[in-house]
Amino acid sequence: MNDRAPQAVPAQLSESKGTNLARELFTSNFWMSGIAMLKYIPRSFRVKQVDGKAFFTESKHDEFRNRVLRIAPANRRQWGTMNVSQMLHHLNLACGSALGFYKLPDESYLVSRTLFRWILVDWFPEQPLGLRLPKGFKIPHGAVFDFDFEKQQLLKIVDAAWQARSPDDWGPHPMFGSMTLEEWGKLLQIHIDYHLRQFAA
């Protein structure tokens, strides 16, 4: 995975897992994410579950590539605060860090690697609106990114993820830690779909 000349993102100094949890307990993001998860629970029982293995099929690969290709600078935001270029960069960080495209800090702690992973990856079939985890994916409001570069980068990351068929191809998630191949497939489908729908793609 090192032949892609990754665009570097500064990594923060590693902290202990206990420090991560203690710090998170005092942030509004932690509690707002908790509220978003609680509000989504009733809907989680009505939405069809996502098959993580489906991500590695040709049909799903083609679907996501075609949806990314349809994204244009003029696509209007349906919710949230990011513009379309910021959204693409956010997806690149979220989907590409475990494949070596970016280096992000480890923000995980026991609760995020167990309870949160079970809720957000193994249980929920969609990403709840209002989720605020983790900070390494957060895009500053005034950040400017090149639309064409970010779009092409996302296409490369989708291709690389689709070809990564072994758990050894994946590094840990910044918040959920080590995950199975099926969990990665499900999480990527949920997260990519959420943000493409955010811009009507």
pLDDT tens digits, 132-165:
767 778 898 899 999 999 999 999 999 999 999 9
Give the pLDDT confidence score for residue 24 in this predicted structure. Answer: 61
Give the pLDDT confidence score for residue 187 in this predicted structure. Answer: 97
Is 3 contained in some domain?
A: no
Give the pLDDT confidence score for residue 7 in this predicted structure. Answer: 42
User: Which residue, 87, 58, 69, is CA-closest to 191?
Assistant: 87
pTM: 0.82
Res 4 pLDDT > 50: no
Where b means 16+ CB within 10 Å and e means fewer, 162-194 reads bebeeeebbeebbbbbebebbbbbbbbbbbbbb
The mean pLDDT of 114-122, rounded to a whole number, is 94
Is 6 contained in some domain?
A: no
Percentage of the chain modeled with pLDDT above 90: 69
Is 114 contained in some domain?
A: yes
Is 5 contained in some domain?
A: no
Q: In terms of pLDDT, which residue wins out, 128 or 27?
A: 128
Please state, in angstroms and rounded to a whole number, the distance separating the CA atoms of residues 5 and 109.
30
Give the pLDDT confidence score for residue 55 in this predicted structure. Answer: 97
Cα dihedral angle (124, 45, 198, 78), rounded to 10 degrees? -140
Is 11 contained in some domain?
A: no
Please state, in angstroms and rounded to a whole number, the distance separating the CA atoms of residues 142 and 65.
28
Please state the domain count of the chain: 1
Is 67 contained in some domain?
A: yes
User: Which residue, 9, 5, 3, 7, is CA-closest to 136?
Assistant: 9
Is 139 contained in some domain?
A: yes
Other beta carbons within 10 angstroms of residue 56's beta carbon come to 18
Is 49 contained in some domain?
A: yes
Give the pLDDT confidence score for residue 12 in this predicted structure. Answer: 38
pLDDT tens digits, 15-63:
444 566 666 666 677 778 889 889 989 999 999 999 999 999 999 999 9
Range of the structural domain that residue 120 is part of? 16-198
